[in-house]
Amino acid sequence: MIPFNKPPFVGSEKQHILDVLGSGKISGDGAFGHRCQNWFIDTLGAVKTLLTPSCTHALEMAALLIDVQAGDEIIMPSYTFVSTANAFVLRGAKIVFVDIDPSTMNINADLIEAAITERTKAIVPVHYAGVGCDMDKIMQLAEQYQLFVIEDAAQGMMSRFKGKMLGTIGHLGAYSFHETKNYTSGGEGGLLIINDSRFIERAEIIREKGTNRSQFFRGMVDKYTWTDVGSSYLPSELQCAYLWGQLENAELINQDRLSSWQRYASQLCDLETQGHIVCPHIPHDCMHNAHMFYIKVADLAQRTALLDFLKEKQIGAVFHYVPLHSSPFGMQHCRFISEDQFTTQESEKLIRLPLWYGISTKEIDHICNTICEYFNKT
Ligand SMILES: *Cc1c(COP(=O)(O)O)cnc(C)c1O
């Protein structure tokens, strides 16, 4: 069986975890946590980065930081993971969905302006498959209408748009270190990226249960106390130790994934030329991180048949997302602006192929040959 995913593991994570166990401190914001956060500040050029237990939590922090009020409207694509929307629904927001661009599966930035009202508070672009949205257009709209931009860059670590790292272009950004992403902090984890210094102080307080404990530890105040709303948004040192092993090897992991992605692209290009499938398109302005290799087939029936065929051949291909506006909860709390021209139709065609750090060329070739076999027999 070729699994869909294997959690990234380089080897050095093990020793780092043992070091934490021997250190007598395993709670959050320890040595590895600080080391990871500094690595991100250096690598991203962000003003502040805060590790969180998940990307979901980083998005929840973002919603608190921009002070979302009941009835505020948040613009995003419907083709995304549930947390993109939930973080804002938790604060009472109304979610406004805009159609995607079928060539990238990202929000179509040209459709955003028509969705803006006087209640609009923020735009949340999702960089699907680690391929950047049209951030020039989105930032220009945000400036014109005084909106916040929160980048859901859960899949986007190490990717760039016009040379800028994803997650560093909007006011706030969020990464995920879930085991299915390119880098993991031991299964679950995330990062809040702060690009606007106005948010730094309050972000630290919200993350520390609404207290000014971070300032206390830095000697800036002489006691710590409850000053704001908040929650516990710190990962443990054990998670940070795992993540540090990945960050030390970030380029190794990136290059390995990129070469696997390239191999898929070159092995499957004949099927694309023959019109059987569509492969991912990387716009000129984007440098991607090979988060995902997907193919799109003719329709839902063909996707189901091909997934069954691959399963029979022991290949763990999968599909996702059911568009949020068609989900039971989404139907109550969200609305789709204008026409759903591509979101539903394109989501039904998409298949994600196995891709992880260390997948062999032999495995990729076998998967590609099996897909060719399917199209040759039908
Ligand atoms: C994975 C993912 C998330 C959630 O990440 P967690 O770390 O599991 O909370 C959010 N948005 C997108 C687009 C994702 O792919």
The response to whether residue 76 sits with its C-beta less than 6 Å from ligand 1 reads no
Tokens of 57: 């939590």
Report d(CA 128, CA 320) in Å as an integer: 12
How far, rounded to the nearest angstrom, does the alpha carbon of residue 39 sit from its chain's CA centroid?
Answer: 19
Half-sphere exposure of 177 (CA within 13 A, CB side): 29
DSSP letters, 332-373, are HHEEE-S--SSHHHHHTTEEEPP--TT--HHHHHHHHHHHHH
Reported as a single tens digit per residue, the pLDDT across 25-67 is 999 999 999 999 999 999 999 999 999 999 999 999 999 999 9
Fold of 13-247: Aspartate Aminotransferase; domain 2 (3.40.640)
As beta bridge partners, residue 350 has 296
Report d(CA 252, CA 300) in Å as an integer: 36
pLDDT at 137: 98
Residues 6+ apart with CB under 8 A from 164: 135
Nearest to 78 by CA among 330, 373, 376: 330
Strand pairing report for 94-98 and 334-336: parallel
Tokens of 59: 């998005």
pLDDT at 378: 63
Ligand 1: residue of 55, 59, 233, 324 to mutate (most ligand atoms within 8 A of CB) is 55
Report d(CA 162, CA 31) in Å as an integer: 33
DSSP letters, 308-335, are HHHHHTTB--B--PPPGGGSHHHHHHEE
Residue 268: pLDDT over 70: yes
DSSP letters, 196-233, are SGGGHHHHHHHHBTTB-HHHHHTTSSSS--B-S---B-
3-state helix, strand, coil in the chain (%, to 5): 40, 15, 40
Which has more confidence, 217 or 311?
311
Q: Are 179 and 246 in contact (CB under 8 A)?
A: no
> What type of residue is 358?
G
Reported as a single tens digit per residue, the pLDDT across 104-160 is 999 999 999 999 999 999 999 999 999 999 999 999 999 999 999 999 999 999 999
Task: Indicate which atom in ligand 1 lies nearest the CA of residue 176.
Answer: 7
Evaluate whether 13-247 and 250-377 have a shared fold.
Answer: no
Fold of 250-377: Aspartate Aminotransferase, domain 1 (3.90.1150)
Distance 132 CA to ligand 1 centre (A): 16
Count other C-beta atoms under 10 Å from residue 368's C-beta.
20
> Which residue minimizes the CA distance to atom 6 of ligand 1?
55
Q: What is the mean pLDDT of residues 288-302?
A: 98
The residue extents of the domains of the chain are 13-247, 250-377
Gyration radius of the chain over CA positions: 21
Distance 220 CA to ligand 1 centre (A): 34
Distance 372 CA to ligand 1 centre (A): 32
Ligand 1: residue of 83, 127, 166, 193 to mutate (most ligand atoms within 8 A of CB) is 83
Question: What does the mean pLDDT of the chain come to?
Answer: 97
